[in-house]
Structure 1
Amino acid sequence: MATSTVTRLADLTVDAASLIADIEAYLAEQAPRTAHPLVTKTTDQLIAEALAAPAAVDEQHAPALEAPRRLWRIIPDWALALTPARRLHGAGRQITVVQHLELTALVLQQYGHHRGGLRSRSGRRCILGAQSVLYRLGYGDEETAEAAGRAMQNVLGGRGVEEPYHAWNDRPGRDLGDALQLIREAISTYNG
């Protein structure tokens, strides 16, 4: 029995380290660039001010995450916070609302989409379940996740949908493409 526990913990650590490394690589690409060391505003902020519009979302820089192995996908969400890789790399990492939305889409793409609950037995996630993965790994906080939820809710409100986005996600026929479209619209219209 001890051997199987060690194997599972090792697999979990490798899977967690791999996912967190990919998220960290994505966040490093998103790091603000400054025009000159003496300039305190980032290049993107200066451009946005000059154009008097928010900076455009660059969908080409989304990282290609490796699909998580089965063990990593099916462990309980509370266990994500206990992984050694999370404590090493992801604990308390602040991200923006747009980054949270982009990473939520990545989790859905890698784990698969689910309706009718936060997760399936095989590890597929609904939108709220994908947000939970990020939160449990330490990326962002409750305020960030709630703001991302409001951004998605605003998109649905613009479509005339009054139900919460997590209930919308659970409707029969809803699929990964629908969920990703909602997230993309929330990213493009977010004005935080």
Structure 2
Amino acid sequence: MPRTALTPPPLLLTPDGSGLADEIEAYLASLPEPVRRAAAPHVPLHGSTVQLWNAGHPEPRLTLLDRLVRRPARPVPVTAAGHLRLTSRYIGAFGWLQGAMWDEQGRVCLLGAQAAVLAHGYGTPATVTTARVQVMEILHATGRPASSPDDYNDRPTTRQGDIHQLLDRAAARATALGL
């Protein structure tokens, strides 16, 4: 069949069947040497390895005085933004729930996750209060007014992804405000 301007060029197939590998290799070969060396595949720091919800944060530790006077360890200081990120990671690790703070499988609602992060020794009640204010600010700024973050959590239209996105936006806002 004669080739015209409307017919595509013949497809060159390689063992993988697409020709894509050859095309990428040709492109990389056309780059200057310093760029070629930097074009090594990127391996993410964390990859897809399952990590604990509190990875990267020190665990609360009992001091000798804490043991002697039989009191809990001091909380690990976290910002409101850090608390919100830990809350999202906690929900991701244990599961999300509507209509109750937690269930027998360990799933939690937004408030249950915040309470769990606090109970594990990350932040103070003031940190949680500041974080909840940031969540409310995001809800109202995005046209989802609610009487509380828990009201939004329990709405039939709310999904787990909505909660993670809300926490992420609130954490970004708290970071921008230095909270």
Q: Structure 1-normalised TM-score?
A: 0.55
* Contact 2:146 2:152 (C-alpha < 8 Å) held by counterparts: no
Q: Secondary structure at the match of 1:122?
A: coil
Counterpart pick for 2:56 among 20, 26, 41: 26
Distance 1:109 1:116 in 2: 18
Q: Which runs of 5+ in 2 are unaligned?
A: 1-50, 64-72
- Cα pair 1:118 1:128 within 8 Å, conserved: yes
State the shift of 1:117 in Å: 1.4
Aligned residues of 1:118 and 1:126 also touching (Cα < 8 A): yes
Which residue of the partner structure matches residue 126 of structure 1?
A: 109
Contact kept, 8 Å, 2:97 with 2:109, in 1: the verdict is: yes
Which one of 158, 173, 177 corresponds to residue 189 of structure 1? 173
Aligned residues: 116
Contact conserved, 1:115 with 1:174, CA < 8 A, in 2? no
What RMSD over aligned residues (CA atoms) do the two structures have, in Å?
A: 2.3
CA distance in 1: counterparts of 2:154 and 2:94, whole angstroms: 16
Is 1:154 the counterpart of 2:137? The answer is: yes
Aligned counterparts, 1:54-93, within 5 A: 88=62, 91-93=74-76
| Cα distance in structure 2, aligned partners of 1:87 and 1:169 | 33
Partner of 1:110: 93
Q: Which residue of 1 aligns with 2:160?
A: 176
- Contact 2:76–2:122 (8 Å) recurs in 1: yes
Q: Which runs of 5+ in 1 are unaligned?
A: 1-17, 29-84
Deviation at 1:96, TM superposition (A): 0.8
Kept in 1, the 8 Å contact 2:60–2:75? The answer is: no
Bigger Cα Rg: 2
| TM-score when normalising by structure 2 | 0.58
Contact 1:91/1:139 (<8 A) preserved: no
1:91-122 superposed Cα distances (whole Å, 9 cap, x missing partner) = 42111111101100000000111000111221
Question: In structure 1, what is the Cα distance between the partners aligned to 2:154 and 2:146?
Answer: 14
Residue 39 of structure 2: aligned partner: none
Tell me which protein shows more helix as a share of its residues.
1
Percent of matched pairs sharing the same residue = 29
How far residue 123 of structure 1 moved from its aligned partner, in angstroms, is 1.2
